[in-house]
Structure 1
Amino acid sequence: MKRRGLLASAVLLAPLAVKAQTTYPTKPVRLMVGANAGGGTDIVARMLADKFAEQLKGTFLVENKPGASNTIAADLTAKAPADGHTLLVATNTGQAIAPHLLKLSFDPIKDLTPIGLVVSVPNVLVVGASVPVNSVQELIAQMKAKPGEFKYGSSGVGSTQHIAGEAFDMAAGVKGVHVPYKGSAQAHLDIIAGNVQMMFDTTSSAMGQIKAGKFKALAVTSDRRSSELPDVPTLIEAGLPGFDMATWYAVYVTAGSPPDVVARLQAELARAVALSDVQAKLRGLGGEPGNMSVEQFARFNAQEYERFGRLIRDANIKPD
């Protein structure tokens, strides 16, 4: 089932109040984040920490553990005591992509229990303002006419931007040159300077450059248009059927945590994401707030793991 079907058909089915058999939390809860402070994952985590603290009358602390494609934080969560007091705020980079590229000492499917989807943010295909193309079809024609000359930046090998670029190459029958950076901001500078021509960035990251006229937005990579870029077509509309590549943010807990605590966390996350101020902040990131049921997200999580694994194998992507 496509993400659109899941998002459109699902409602926040988790009950708004689940009485745990024991008081929770009984000590400070750690929210592990596999990225630096100030980025999208960190913003989501700190927002959730504030809401959980209000709702559960406890202490929730964000801990940034960047590195290894977001998997250091996941590893710490997977190996934490299974008492529900260590949570992971993660993206598909760490949960569905990196496990197929790195040798990990934990299993992201077996060792982490999904709590729920927070938000899904579409990526947007952008080119520098000086690149002489104004549509996806013009870009494809140029890339076919000048093989090997078009470079696309990303925030690193194995990032969603990188995988989106590889998927685009396969779908369009072209071959771009991947240029990895340590973050989107560095890639932006080279695109503006004309050293790199294009990028598949998140809407939240690219929006400032688009509004400033330094990037041209050619298409969004999700299966429907972004509310932040309503006049920009999807890649599906632009002639690449089935292209669906978004960056999603979700919460996990150490596998084996008490079922009543897991259920309480799932209910409280659903409650938090439904709040109007949270919805406004998530939409401000250019995203669509999650509204999958617990069961739907568990299936989606497993399906994304398999989907990205196939993409990585088909594109023969290797770690640096």
Structure 2
Amino acid sequence: MREAGMRLSGGRELAATLGLSGAALDPRCASCDGTGIALPEVWKELIDDLAPAFQRRPSVDPALDQSHGTLETALRRAAYLLSQGLLLGKRLLVLGDDDFTSLAAAALAGKVAPTQTSLTSIQVLEIDERYLSLLREDAERRGLSLETQLYDAREPLPDALHRRADVFITDPPYTLEGLSLFLSRGLHGLDRSQTRDVLLSYPQRPPIQNWELQYAMLELGLSILRVFPGFNRYHGAAMHANVSTLYHLQVTPAASPLHQGKWKHAIYTGEHRPATRYRCKGCRHEVRVGRDGEFTTVRDLKSAGCPECGGRVFLRVGK
């Protein structure tokens, strides 16, 4: 018994005696960092080859809930697809790809089956042309099978893409409305002649919000096959502590899109937040940032500068 109460220090003392560090006692797999998917050493060449493209990704747009997944995360997603028989010879539909998962999947398919790259089809739908431009450029340079299309998920899925895909992959906005809408568009795009698969990446939430998230999946007729907490790692995504969960879902016969036509409501996090006032440090002019404000994000405000004096330093005042 210690002054602060009982402490079970025997384990630490034993570890010290045996010369074991805290890392040595970590039960997570060192090879896969606890994700369940290891990247073998032979993949280092592929990682080095893809690194320049990932480093060239444009800056994220917070208004679109964008965040850059790591190169290793994109490859782990591709490796998981490969391990489940969901990559080679399959038709993939990717909705929203600031993570460049499509590029990693196409590159891996080309590495594993270089003479059969045309059998794997990857269609990317993205609202931000900056990402599409880079994806097209890199895919063409590598001779990869990758199609891109500028698309806003608030619009119905183009007829040409209905019931065409075997696998749907998405990292949707961080709202239940955005989640349900993106999954609905994915259901429109999946060929329903047999069981199809969905890979969904979404931030880990408190229990009640996780229940709402999973209820939204079930409401669409999707069953949860596997859950990988902490599978996805991000650069500087403080909103969800730089990690998110990977869900492997399957489409049941009861599955049906909840949203058919044009979506007219908020789907992005920033659209749900009341506008906040910011004051220019130079001239004290105030502007509103957020929903119904003069600027959507603080980044937009700083980029444009103060409307009155052009200053770029602002203080948060309040709602």
TM more than 0.5 = no
Max Rg structure: 2
TM-score by length of 1: 0.29
Larger proportion of helix: 1
* Structure with bigger RCO (C-alpha 8 Å, 6+ apart): 1
